[in-house]
Amino acid sequence: MTPSGRAWLLLGLIGYAILPWHLADLAPLANRYPAGEAGSGLGRALFGGAWWLLPIAAGLAVATVPVVARLDRDKAAAWLVAGGGFGLALLVVQGFVIGHNGWTTAWLAAWFGAPGPRQGGLGFGAALTALALLMLLCQGLADRGWCRGDAFVVSAIGLVVALIGLFVFFPVLRILVSAFQDNAGQFSFSEFAAKVLDRSIWGLDCLTSSLRCGVAWNTLFLAVLVGVGTTALGLAFALIATRTGFRYKGALRVLTVLPIITPPFVIGLALILLFGRSGALSALLYEWFDIPRSRWIYGLPGVLIAQLLAFTPIAFLVLIGVVQGISPSLEEASQTLRASRWTTFRTVSLPLMRPGLANAFLLGFVESMADFGNPLVLGGNFEVLSTKIFFAVVGAAHDQGRAAVLSLVLLGFTLAAFWVQYAWLGKRVYTTVTGKGDSGLLLPLPRRVAWLCYATAIPWAVFTFVVYAVILVGGFVRSMGRDYTPTLEHFLTGFRIEAGRHGLFLSGSAWDSFIATLKVAAMAAPLTAVIGLLTAYLMSRQSFAGRRAFEFGTMLSFAIPGTVVGVSYILAFNVPPVEITGTAFILVMCFVFRNMPVAVRSGIATLSQIDKSLDEASLTLGARSFATVRRVILPLLRPAVVASLVYSFVRAMTAVSAVIFLVSAEYNMATTYIVGRVEAGEFGLAIAYSCVLIVVMLIAILMIQLLVGERRLGRRTAPAPVGNVAVQAAG
């Protein structure tokens, strides 16, 4: 047995025999250890009546055999596989069948008598034991020749598969299950059908009467509008950026970076400050033109404008690639056939852009569906699925089953969109890029198209800058729209530092959530990068059975809207065996698995540029996989490391949709705090806080770049554009 195998065995034994098995308060330890609530697995099994924990010891014992007896490699491996596999299976099964209130399934209760044994969520001891058993199993499999006998690779696969299973598939499964359950917990298809086809979801009353339409139609309608709008605007910007002599292209670039570091609802907030009843522009309109102040911004118009502002840059990033990718020689060919510029544009350029346009549309569509912050802030009576799900969980009804059903509908929409994109567009997107060095010149736009582009894009760009100006100014004046006296009051409310008796202390109201956010983001970012890049390494460098499912799992978590993730995490992790709601851990895990696909994609993209024989050369020089990863792959992977750290840090700072379900009093996040301020009408504080977040993120991005550093490649360098990675991932 290898030293690392022995180490895992030792850790497994510690986890089982010494550490507290279940989640429990450790405070009055004396009377609850080792056999009581805070007892170790062994203690509880022997003296605490938790007999079901005893067989796990058998697994560990079997895995110990190769240490004690001298066996040849194959036999030792077989013992490890048996012990690890058996122990792990038992651990998982007991965790799932025995819960807080006894047996978790009806037939067990019927067989063995209700209520049966009880236990809480698994704790450190159980977690460590499970990990150790898993690693022993992998070690054994590697010794039996799996993955070329590479223990590191097998262990990495085992770990990532277990994590994806636990934090992606398991929650989704829980949503499915609870959607199919009636209130008594029985499986009921008819009830599910009734819930899914409910009038409040699919009703078409708005067509025939003044009643509202179902929330699914609202969502769909909004998403289509946003998809079309962002595509049109993005195309206009892209054409201006590539095909005209427009002078302020730098400004366009800024426009593409800003939304990445802007929390999604901040735009909605700025719109309120501009167009709300007491908004700055509303005030002007009232004073100058006597246009009455109204609440028109709350509802479809507001949400639509906010989403258009938020997602146009994504369409722009997609389309600029497509427009640039059109081979100029195709257009030149058309012109040499005596087609006018307009004809060429209409018959050659535009059709070539079609796949790109469809791609941009689908991205806008999916983003709109998944968006939660803007509908929450601006929606008013206009309900969409994501907010409806939220209110089903937190509202008075507190109906998780309903939330699950709504989640399934939303998930159905987004998965369908992704499927369409994958099946239909996946093959066509790149057909405009020939891969040959084209020397032709890009054709300037026909004049009427150019005017059309300017006419849409310029007002929009001005509008965008106004919105960001509001975000900048809003934090420093007493009240936008009413009182423009400069003040630092909002910043002081949030971030006051006072000198108390025990030295400085943070008395501002925002500090708690701010620090919690920083902590969670700082933990999530490196974890995301590690797990994501490890996954990328496994997917691009190793071949193993089930790789497709593996790939699907990592991408699945990207297609699931944040609200759905939030609901699924509550359903999955509010009860044993993994009972982690209310902790920082669940927030970190949520971010890790939501943002991992970006790390995976950028990792795969970078790895595919690195010759595989570099790894192999390192292996034949006696470096094991782990050393190879550390000394050869990681240094070459720096651009991907930067991209995934930046992306996951930023997303952890700006996300609302999933975390709003998962925050607790102790771990409130900045974004949820800000949303709370908005709902309470404290716009100044909300805006000031958002500014702080944006600045913090800019600093963090710079620091990450400094820390990780550039990749040394002799002469060649490859910069990693963060924006592109984000879009790739979304695409």
Partner 1 sequence: MTKSPASVEFRSVTKRYGSVTAVDDISFTIEPGSLVTLLGPSGCGKTTTLRLIAGLEMASSGRILIGGKDVTRLSAAERDVSMVFQSYALFPHLSVLENVAYGPTVQGLPKHRAREMALEKLALVGLQGLERRSPSELSGGQQQRVAVARALVLEPQVLLFDEPLSNLDAKLRRRVRDDIRELQKRLNLTVAYVTHDQEEALAVSDRIIVMSDGRIAQSGTPRQLYEEPANLFVADFIGDANLVDGVVVEERGERALVRIDGITIEVPRRGAGLGPVRLAVRPTAVLLQRTGPGRQAVEGRIAKAAYLGKHAEYLVASPMGELFAIDRADGPLLEEGAPVWISLADREVAIVPSAEG
Residues that bind partner 1 (CB under 8 A): 73-74, 143-145, 148-150, 611, 613-614, 616-625, 627, 631-632, 635-636, 711-716
Alpha-helix runs per DSSP H in 197-299? 199-202, 205-208, 215-243, 249-257, 264-275, 280-289
Residue 677 in tokens? 């301020």
Rg of the chain, C-alpha, whole Å: 28
Give CA–CA dist 176/556, Å, rounded. Answer: 15
Report the residue number, 67 or 623, with the smaller CB distance to partner 1.
623
What is the 8-class DSSP label of residue 274? H
Joined together, the tokens standing for residue 256 give 């593409």
Nearer to partner 1, 190 or 620 (CB): 620
- Nearest distance in Å: CB 263, partner 1: 37
- Residue whose C-alpha is closest to residue 125's, from 12, 20, 9: 20
Closest CA to 22 of 6, 3, 43: 43
Give min distance, CB of 553 to partner 1, in A.
23
Query: Phi/psi at 117 (nearest 5 deg)?
Result: -65, 155
Strand-pair partners of 500: 503
CB atoms within 10 A of CB 135: 25
SS3 annotation, 298-340: CCHHHHHHHHHHHHHHHHHHHHHHHHHHCCHHHHHHHHHCCCC
Query: Which pair of structure tokens corresponds to residue 220?
Result: 């769909």
Please state the closest distance from residue 545 (CB atom) to partner 1, in A. Answer: 11
Bond prior to 115 in cis (omega within 30° of 0): yes
Both structure tokens of 110: 């019927």
If the CB atoms of residues 348 and 632 are measured against partner 1, the closer one turns out to be 632
Interaxial angle between packed helices 350-370 and 722-730, expressed in degrees from 0 to 180 and rounded to the nearest 10:
80
398 CB burial (10 A radius; 0-12, 13-18, 19+): exposed
**Nearest approach, Cβ of 706 to partner 1 (angstroms)?**
19
Q: For residue 671, which of 591, 726, 601 has the smallest C-alpha distance?
A: 591
As measured in angstroms, the least distance from the Cβ of 152 to partner 1 is 9
Cα(499)–Cα(244) distance, integer angstroms? 58
For partner 1, the closer of residues 212 and 624 by Cβ is 624
Nearer to partner 1, 145 or 681 (CB): 145
Pick the closer one to partner 1 by CB: 74 or 666.
74
Smallest gap from Cβ 153 to partner 1, in A, equals 9
SS3 label, residue 187:
strand
Q: How far is the CB of 648 from partner 1 (least distance, A)?
A: 24
The least CB distance from residue 104 to partner 1, in Å, is 41
Nearer to partner 1, 400 or 628 (CB): 628
The nearest distance, CB 539 to partner 1, in angstroms, is 18
Report the distance separating Cα 105 and Cα 231, nearest Å: 50
Least CB distance to partner 1 at residue 611 (A): 6
Please tell me the distance from the alpha carbon of residue 260 to that of residue 727, in angstroms, as a whole number: 10
Is 466:478 a contact under the CB 8 Å cutoff? no
CB closer to partner 1, 488 vs 617 = 617
Q: Specify the amino acid at residue 205.
A: D
Rounded least distance, CB 632 to partner 1, Å: 6
Q: How far apart are the C-alpha atoms of 366 and 368, rounded to whole Å?
A: 5
Q: Which residue has the tokens 């279940």?
A: 22
SS3 122: strand
> CB of 609: closest distance to partner 1 in angstroms?
11
- Which tokens sit at 688? 């000031």
| Residue 115 vs 145, nearer CB to partner 1 | 145
Closer CB to partner 1, 205 or 710, in the complex: 710
Q: With respect to partner 1, which residue has the nearer C-beta, 309 or 533? A: 533
3-class DSSP state of 98? strand
- What contacts 314, CB < 8 A, 6 or more positions away? 230, 234, 259, 360, 363, 364, 367, 726, 727, 730
In the complex, what is the shortest distance from the CB of residue 636 to partner 1, in angstroms, rounded to a whole number? 6
